[in-house]
Amino acid sequence: MTSSTPLSEQQVQHFKTHGFLVLENLLDESSLNQWRQQIWRELEASLDQPDSWPRERTGLDDYQYDPPESALVHHPALTPIVQQLSGNAFVASGGAPIIRWPEPEKSWQMPESGHIDAYGGRWAPFMIGATTYLYDVEPKGGAFIFWPDSHHAAHRYFRQNPELVDGSFLKEEGFSWDVFCDNPKTGGQEFVASAGDVVLWHSYLTHNGSINVNDSPRLALFARWPHQHQRQVPEFRYEVPEDLWKYWAI
């Protein structure tokens, strides 16, 4: 008898080593179409009519998927992957669509640094995130940017400064997000991908948005699965385990 897991051992190792994993063509076309329809409906605009684009609307923060089960965070291709990585400990939370409208008049550059979602605006240290696009994203097209291997830098920082995990590191003199992406080897990387490809990322992985100088809007969906204890046991969030994977199943 063989037991099958959605991710191979090699993919799991890649995720652990680099803090991210790209899964090409994971999401089916009918889900993508359903999302495209509901989001353009929400925007009261259409892809082929640039004059209709509401360029002031970028993050659809309180967006309610219609129906709610259609949210990326509940997609059946992702659920078993999150189960495999977390041993059922991480639970679907949310994640809003974020749009980067074309700004061809600007000059593109790689952002110098980013942020982590673990501590900052959010406080979700033990968490998996996922990002996908509804349309292909070419280089300089507003890609999600991430810093490979940077989860180790954040881990080192919080092992050394555990009292700062409540977000106070942001106010430390001399602090800059550069500390978290000291990764001279690779720098930031654009998630250049086709619609329906997914990048999974560790909550300590430094990432950022970027400018879109191409013609097509970047419509990205985000999803986050924090550890179930996070809401129930507030002290839990203060722990900075020596083993980065203590609350994972990998």
Q: Residue 197 interacts with ligand AKG (CB under 6 A)?
A: no
Partner in contact with 222, chosen from Fe ion, ligand AKG, none, beta carbon below 5 to 8 Å by kind: ligand AKG
In angstroms, the CA 128 to CA 205 distance is: 10
Q: How far apart are CB 9 and ligand AKG at their closest, in Å?
A: 29
Query: Pick from 225, 229, 238, 212: which is nearest to 144 by CA?
Result: 212
Q: Counting runs of H as helices and runs of E as strands, what totals does the chain give?
A: 5, 8
Binding residues for ligand AKG restricted to 127-146, rule: CB under 6 A: 144
Nearer to ligand AKG, 153 or 220 (CB): 220
Q: In sequence order, what E strands does the chain have?
A: 20-23, 97-100, 127-133, 145-146, 189-190, 198-202, 207-208, 218-226
Q: How far apart are CB 209 and ligand AKG at their closest, in Å?
A: 3
Q: How far apart are CB 213 and Fe ion at their closest, in Å?
A: 21
Q: How far apart are CB 210 and ligand AKG at their closest, in Å?
A: 7
Partner in contact with 98, chosen from Fe ion, ligand AKG, none, beta carbon below 5 to 8 Å by kind: ligand AKG
Interface with ligand AKG: number of residues (CB under 6 A): 7
Nearer to ligand AKG, 50 or 209 (CB): 209
Contact pick of 6, 94, 111, 209 for ligand AKG (by CB under 6 A):
209
Query: Pick from 43, 61, 7, 22: which is nearest to 200 by CA?
Result: 22
Q: How far apart are CB 17 and ligand AKG at their closest, in Å?
A: 22
Q: How far apart are CB 3 and Fe ion at their closest, in Å?
A: 34
- For 146, counting Cβ atoms within 10 Å of its Cβ (0-12 exposed, 13-18 middle, 19+ buried), the class is buried
Nearer to ligand AKG, 23 or 118 (CB): 118
Structure tokens, 9: 């051992």
Q: What are the Cα distances from residue 206, in Å, to 106, 113, 116, 140, 209? A: 24, 8, 5, 19, 11
Give the CA dihedral 130, 136, 141, 147, nearest 10 degrees: 30
Give the CA dihedral 188, 193, 198, 203, nearest 10 degrees: 10
In angstroms, the CA 149 to CA 178 distance is: 13
Nearer to ligand AKG, 6 or 190 (CB): 190
Chain position whose Cβ is nearest to ligand AKG? 209
Partner in contact with 204, chosen from Fe ion, ligand AKG, none, beta carbon below 5 to 8 Å by kind: none
Nearer to Fe ion, 6 or 111 (CB): 111
Q: Which residues bind ligand AKG (CB under 6 A)?
A: 98, 117, 144, 207, 209, 220, 222
